[in-house]
Amino acid sequence: MIRKEYSKDLSAMNTFGMKVSCSLYMDYDAPEDLPGIDFQSLPAPVLHMGGGSNLLFTGDFPGTVLHSSIRYIKELSRTDDSCFIEAGAGIVFDDFVRWTCGKGLWGAENLSLIPGEVGASAVQNIGAYGAEVKDIIDRVLCFDTVDKEFKVLSGSDCEYGYRDSAFKGKWKGRFIITGVIFKLSVVPWARLGYGNLASMLPADTSTLSPSDVREAVIALRHSKLPDPSETGSAGSFFKNPVVSAGRFAKIEKVVRDEQGPDATVPHYLQDDGIKVPAAWMIDRCALKGISVGGAALYERQPLVIVNRSGNASPEDILALERLVIEKVKEKFGVELHPEVEHIKS
Ligand SMILES: Cc1cc2nc3c(=O)[nH]c(=O)nc-3n(C[C@H](O)[C@H](O)[C@H](O)COP(=O)(O)OP(=O)(O)OC[C@H]3O[C@@H](n4cnc5c(N)ncnc54)[C@H](O)[C@@H]3O)c2cc1C
């Protein structure tokens, strides 16, 4: 069944809390609803939305917002070491994680409490605490709006990268994800090497359960990130830049000129360069906590722009975004790029 609403208020449907609307909103219950939709006749453009937790609406949306209410979780099969679980695209991702942890299955626990829905998790390749959802995606179930047929894509078809996939690039807007098949581990697979996750758990990990790891991740996230039900945000606003060795040397020089020859720059070697935490760069520009209108950088994590007043306008957020990009560029010669998707009005 499809429910349609014209001039729908989206304020409560985007975690930034932007007070915007769309021309037409269509919420559907089942994959079988999709082939009957005449996409050409809908107010354009068409945006498929999940929980609205990675979107910045820059004003009222002139087109159609589609949303999936396909909600089920089921076990498909199991071997001695793996278990295949299928989840509908409209399931809240954290409900899926709670479900798998409750069954003693490993693989999703480090991704606890990431806002949003299962469908979008496969678009975004969500990640946290050293895990990415691509590690547990086996297949993605889709409706192809071009060929007008259902397709099953393998994880490798989706060309996953850091918070990236073919759904955000060459397939943008083409596939509607209806469900995801995850491959979880029946045998213990604790990944505790990232940040201070291990310090939150007992030294003897032999009796650890996925739910123990989930609780530790939730406690860490509560201490660092704003709760979307209290403070509007879209999580990390900027991507961590990957720079060349030459640029990295220049960043080191800037810091050493300021702080002395022993000063270091946090970094992680990647196949394509050197990743430098954007939060660290923003901090070094003395921008922590800065505000523009109702928008501000979150005090505990400068990578996050928050709707501090609850009434921040898209212009406030965009002005703060520009300010951060400009200051970081001025100081380090590095251009930050937003992770949050800007939806044009
Ligand atoms: C407080 C906070 C903390 C966060 N922490 C993290 C984190 O730790 N790690 C991380 O990776 N992200 C994090 N995020 C970002 C966000 O949670 C993820 O990007 C999430 O996957 C977005 O899911 P969503 O359902 O809200 O999707 P939306 O924001 O609604 O959409 C995201 C994209 O997916 C597309 N899409 C949605 N559903 C479908 C579908 N069924 N078919 C096809 N395309 C679809 C949309 O068109 C859009 O391009 C955080 C956000 C917040 C607010």
The protein residue whose alpha carbon is closest to atom 22 in ligand 1 is 116
pLDDT of residue 263: 95
3-state secondary structure of 185: strand
Q: For residue 11, what are its two tokens?
A: 């304020």
Residue nearest to atom 36 of ligand 1 (CA): 120
The answer to whether 107 and 182 have CB atoms below 8 angstroms apart is: yes
The pick from 29, 124, 135, 146 for probing ligand 1's pocket by mutation, whose C-beta has the most ligand atoms within 8 angstroms, reads 124
Structure tokens at 104: 């003693």
Q: How would you list the strands of the sheet with 21-28, edge to edge?
A: 2-9, 21-28, 61-68, 46-49
The alpha carbon of 164 is separated from its chain's Cα centroid by a whole number of angstroms, namely: 10
| pLDDT tens for the chain, residues 1 to 345 | 999 999 999 999 999 999 999 999 999 999 999 999 999 999 999 999 999 999 999 999 999 999 999 999 999 999 999 999 999 999 999 999 999 999 999 999 999 999 999 999 999 999 999 999 999 999 999 999 999 999 999 999 999 998 999 999 999 999 999 999 999 999 999 999 987 899 999 888 889 999 999 999 999 999 999 998 999 999 999 999 999 999 999 999 999 999 999 999 999 898 889 999 999 999 999 998 899 999 999 999 999 999 999 999 999 999 999 999 999 999 999 999 999 999 998
Q: Which burial class, exposed, middle or buried, applies to 230 when counting CB atoms under 10 A from its CB (0-12, 13-18, 19+)?
A: exposed
Nearest ligand 1 atom, CA 128: 8
How far apart CA 210 and CA 215 sit, in angstroms, is 9
Alpha carbons 39 and 126: distance in angstroms, whole number: 28
Instruction: For residue 45, say if its preceding peptide bond is cis, omega within 30 degrees of 0.
Output: yes
268-270 and 242-243 strand pairing = unpaired
234 CA closest ligand 1 atom index:
53
> Residue holding tokens 């990578």?
303
The CA-atom distances, in angstroms, between 144 and each of 70, 137, 173, 206 are: 17, 19, 10, 45
DSSP three-state, residue 85: strand
Strand duo 61-68 + 46-49: pairing: parallel
Identify which of 14, 22, 33, 54 to mutate to test ligand 1's pocket (most ligand atoms within 8 A of the CB). Answer: 54
Phi, psi of 6 (to 5 degrees): -90, 150
Inter-CA distances, 39 with 34, 42, 51, 64, 179, Å: 10, 5, 22, 9, 20
Binding-site residues, ligand 1, Cβ < 6 A: 15, 47-55, 68, 89, 114-117, 119-121, 123-124, 126-128, 163, 167, 176-177, 225-226, 228, 233-235, 341
Q: CA-CA distance, 220 to 110, in Å (whole number)?
A: 11
The pLDDT value recorded for residue 312 is 96
pLDDT at residue 79 in the model:
96
Phi, psi angle pair for 27, to nearest 5°: -110, 130
CA distances from 226 to 32, 93, 143 (A): 37, 18, 34
The answer to whether 179 and 91 are in contact (CB under 8 A) is: no
Which atom of ligand 1 lies nearest, measured to the CA of 163? Answer: 11
* Tokens of residue 24, six digits: 């037409």
Beta bridge partners of residue 140, listed in sequence order: 153, 180
Which atom of ligand 1 is found nearest the CA of 228? 1
Instruction: Check residue 204 and give its pLDDT.
Output: 87
* Ligand 1 midpoint to CA 137 (Å): 16
**Amino acid at position 40, single letter:** Q
Give me ligand 1 centre to Cα 82, in Å. 27
Residues taking part in catalysis: 163, 236, 339
Q: What residues have CB less than 8 Å from 126, skipping those under 6 apart?
A: 93, 111, 114, 116, 120, 132, 133, 163
Q: Which of 150, 146, 155 is closest to 30 using CA atoms?
A: 150
Domains in the chain, start-ordered, CATH in brackets? 2-68 (3.30.43.10), 73-224 (3.30.465.10), 232-343 (3.90.78.10)
| Chain-centroid distance, C-alpha 106 | 20
Beta-bridge partner residues of 274: 243, 269
pLDDT at 288: 81
* Nearest alpha carbon, ligand 1 atom 47: 48
What is the best residue among 13, 25, 49 to mutate for testing ligand 1's pocket, by most ligand atoms within 8 Å of CB? 49
